A and B are shown apart, each in its own frame.
Chain A
Amino acid sequence: MDFDEVRLPERLTFGSRGGPSFNNTVVRLHGGQERRIVRWRAPLHKYNLAPVLKTSTQLDTLIEFYIGRKGPARGFRFKDWMDFTTAADSRSVPTISDVVCQPTDGTFTIFQIAKTYTFGALTFTRKINKPVVGTLVLGKNNVQVLSGFTVNYATGRITFAAAVAPSDVISCGCEFDVPVRFDDAVDILSLTIEAFNKNQTPDISLIEIRVDSTAVLDTTPGNPEVPPPTPGEVGEACERTPINTALPAVFYVTGLPGPGYQFNEGNNWFVLESNLNDLTGLDYTLTAAELVAGVTKGTGVFYNWVDKTTLLNIPGRYYEVMWRWTPRTLADNIDCKVGGIFHIFFSNASIEVPVFGGFSDNNSPWSEIHSSCQRVHNTACLEHGSGQPEISPVVKPPSQGLPGSVLMSQGIDSAKPSGGGAGGTSIVWGDPINLYFSRPKGADTRVMYASAHMLASEEMQQVTQMKGPVIGAVTPTGYGLVNATEYNLEWHVARRKINSTDDMGSVITAGALVASEPKLYRVHMRLIKQLSPFVFDCLRIQLFIKNWMGTGNDFVIFDTGDWTVLTGGGTEIITYGGGSPDTLSYHYAPSGSGNVSVWKSDWTDGI
């Protein structure tokens, strides 16, 4: 069957339903006993896009894609969101040891990728025919192999230049697609637009097709049967730049009933997919909305969007870039140093768009962006909790504090913290707070006194989807990615001792901090019930900066005890990213006691 190596745009696939389908013949005897004949050893998967299709834009995309495939005539790639990597959990980042590849013949030259599904004592093997280009990592005897082989991404076969020894264990990991075609029953012409952006969506069934592993994809340039590689993704991303024009010029901040930020239930994140491929030039310009000065870059986190657990910087992987849009900025550039697909989320947290009545309304021109990731929402990560617009006036570092404590400043008023208990500070009830910290260098027995309670409410449940564990010594390079862990926590009760056995404490005390292995943490907190003032006894580093556009001298390090600028002495500055101009993050880890906060000098608002 003719096959186009293009993937159905993911916006049309996330949320689809489906799964494996077998073909067995059951012969039931008169007594009720059965004989069952297994006709297929390998299942064919079936999917249905009906739950996904919601907007006319999606419909347009689907129709174009359908026509491009000549209806059921040509196969294409489909991403099964439940199962698209070889990792044990089917969704994590592939590793070289995920699956063992079996030689296809006795020469030990050609190996077929296959995935194993185990349950109890049972094992089922499924051939992987459509690995995603660029995702395959290969290991021989559990050591990564980088050359000496080729991968046929159309068939899932790995060919070695020289035969490997029969005793060698060849393993690999990759992302993969399912080769499918449109079901014969799909009647694209019956798709109707019932109302504006509300479509009647009949079943759009997709059926897996078997792939001949020996088939060779004709990739001759200019061959009309072979579309250019994944043009749809890029093109669509570009098409989906209504940000340029459709976004209202004025935003308002909601949830301002006095002190304390109020979560807006309508908060949503929007996703924009884009291939960022230009490794040298500028990739993308987003306009008509604005990045929060300073904080924006500071909170721009590259997330592994797939499993939401690791912050990695691997070519071809997904990352999530979190921006916050505010009324002020008119444009920002996205420049990638590593190619890959990026999902850009737009949050309307606390932003109301009166023209459209909010993004959660499907009538918004952003709705198709919305709907493609509608469940990733409520992650309102406002750093400012005092009920002011998040574009804040100048904020100075807190001007006071007691030695031995970390002051957590939040809100717009730099004078915070106000009040506070001995050696600490109180936090305004209801405030969301971002605290950035790292563990001091070396062994540290000090603990933080506070309470961290995770996952208490719906919105925080969404937030904690973005939590990530410590990921070890990945040296960040490129644009602002730091080796850091972000934990989003919700605080309930003060004065619970956090030690290494707590969720949060385990983060704090996870491993010794060394210059080559920074451990920075960002904790997003919202105090929802304050029983007593928080007192921080030893937590020290406050800020976690990601500023890929930064230069080496952008930051000033303060002692949060007296807010004097620290230069030299007992300080230690760890620079990530290999120096300017790509230097992005700074971390102050005093060798002795003391508390510091790191600030970017030209920031106009703080954390």
Chain B
Amino acid sequence: MDDFSEEILPHGYGYQTEHGRGYSTRMFSLDSGWTHPKARWAAPLNRYTVNYQNRSFTEMDQIRAFYYNHYGSAKGFRLKDKLDFSSAANHRGTPTMLDQTILLTGGVYRLAKTYDIAGTVVVKPIYKPILGTVLISDVGVNVTGSVTVNYETGVLTGYTPTGAYKAGFLFHTPVRFNGEQLIVSIDDHENASIESLELIELRLT
């Protein structure tokens, strides 16, 4: 079984969603009393707690089918993070081809997004660009047509840049369900709610 599907979590979740950025940090305590924090991750993983309030049974059916088909937490899927889905500086704007510098790691060009939070620069690879939204430029020249974008990995192939290699795109966040159960509450004869559904971002390799 694939551990990731390219499906998108349906029916935009409610607005009371909680977002969190999680780091894994290990503290080393020395005998002398010094502690030495060791950051284990360069890039954080997001967590979400989403809800669906008072949705129609039909929508709930689809969410349930979605849950079944991902075997609960087993399979990852795409989530549109309502706060961060674009390469634009404000995370939600219309992307332009100059938004983000394309990352070159291990000889592979891939989409990435730079977050500069209070001087701390974090570069996150973008694994799940949205089909058809990727714009690519080489020294300010649009070369989108020359580049092959793998929309399932964010890897760019087929083109060797001559200078500043940049891209703009919309993207999904790869996540999976966290927790063991989907809990649906029936509100009335037409509506139901999911009070809380935890999602956790996946680190894809």
Contacts and interface: CB of A to CB of B under 8 A. Distances in A.
Nearest to A41: B71
B71 A22 contact: yes
B128 interface: no
A121 interface: yes
Nearest to A115: B68
Interface in A19-72: 19-24, 26, 30-34, 36, 38, 40-41, 43, 46, 48, 51
Nearest to B26: A30
A311 interface: no
A438 B192 CA distance: 36
A36 B40 contact: no
Given A19-B64, A43-B72, A89-B61, A122 B5 contact: yes
Interface stretch (A9-17, A148-156, A354-362): A9-17
A131 to B, nearest CB: 19
Contacts of A83: 61, 64
Interface stretch (B108-116, B151-159, B163-171, B178-186): B178-186
Contacts of B21: none
A198 interface: no
A17 B7 contact: no
Nearest to A461: B190
Most chain A CB atoms below 10 A, which of B24, B45, B66, B69: B69
A465 B182 contact: no
A375 B188 contact: yes
Contacts of B1: 38
Contacts of B74: 22, 24, 36, 38
Contacts of B72: 20-24, 43
Interface residues of A, number: 44
Contacts of A24: 71-74
Given A36-B3, A81-B186, A46 B181 contact: yes
A167 interface: no
Contact of A17 (B10, B61, B183, B190): B183
B65 A117 contact: yes
A89 B68 contact: no
B205 interface: yes
Interface string A462-482: 000100000000000000000
B34 interface: no
A269 to B, nearest CB: 11
Contacts of B69: 117-119, 122-124
Contacts of A48: 183
B184 A17 contact: yes
B203 interface: yes
B183 A16 contact: no
A441 interface: no
Interface string B26-64: 000000000000001100010000000000011011101
A127 interface: no
Contacts of B73: 22, 24, 26, 36
B180 A89 contact: no
Most chain A CB atoms below 10 A, which of B75, B181, B189, B204: B189
A32 B41 CA distance: 7
A350 to B, nearest CB: 22
Interface string A343-380: 00000000000000000000000000000000110000
A126 B68 contact: yes
B130 interface: no
Is chain A's interface secondary structure helix, strand, loop, or mixed overall?
A: loop
Contact of B61 (A16, A26, A90): A90
Most chain A CB atoms below 10 A, which of B45, B68, B72, B180: B68
A119 B66 CA distance: 6
A82 interface: yes
Interface string B74-104: 1100000000000000000000000000000
B184 to A, nearest CB: 5
Nearest to B181: A21
B65 A124 contact: yes
A14 B187 CA distance: 10
Given A38-B1, A91-B57, A20 B182 contact: yes
A281 interface: no
Contacts of B172: none
A119 B57 CA distance: 15
A119 B65 contact: yes
Nearest to B69: A122
Contacts of B5: 120-122
Interface string B1-21: 101011100100000000000
A82 B186 contact: yes
Contact of A19 (B176, B182, B189, B202): B182
Most chain A CB atoms below 10 A, which of B57, B60, B70, B188: B188
A16 B66 contact: no
Interface in A552-575: none
A119 B74 CA distance: 16
B38 to A, nearest CB: 11
A32 B57 contact: no
Contacts of A376: 189
A165 to B, nearest CB: 31
A334 B3 CA distance: 56
Contacts of A89: 57-58, 61
B202 A82 contact: no
Given A14-B186, A30-B40, A82 B192 contact: yes
A19 B183 contact: yes
B184 A118 contact: no
Given A22-B72, A90-B61, A119-B7, A36 B176 contact: yes
Contacts of A126: 68
A23 B73 CA distance: 8
Nearest to B180: A21
Nearest to A22: B72
Contacts of A14: 186
A18 interface: yes
Interface of B: 1, 3, 5-7, 10, 24, 40-41, 45, 57-58, 60-62, 64-75, 176, 180-190, 192, 202-205
30 contacts: A17-B184, A18-B181, A18-B183, A19-B64, A19-B181, A19-B184, A20-B181, A20-B182, A21-B72, A22-B71, A22-B180, A23-B72, A30-B40, A31-B40, A31-B41, A32-B24, A32-B45, A33-B202, A34-B202, A36-B3, A36-B75, A36-B176, A38-B74, A51-B185, A121-B5, A122-B70, A123-B69, A124-B68, A126-B68, A465-B190
Interface of A: 14-24, 26, 30-34, 36, 38, 40-41, 43, 46, 48, 51, 81-83, 89-91, 117-124, 126, 308, 375-376, 465
- The 4 A-B residue pairs with the shortest CB-CB distance, nearest first, are A22-B72, A375-B188, A122-B69, A19-B182
Given A119-B69, A122-B70, 9 more contacts: A19-B64, A21-B72, A21-B180, A32-B24, A33-B203, A51-B185, A120-B7, A122-B7, A375-B189
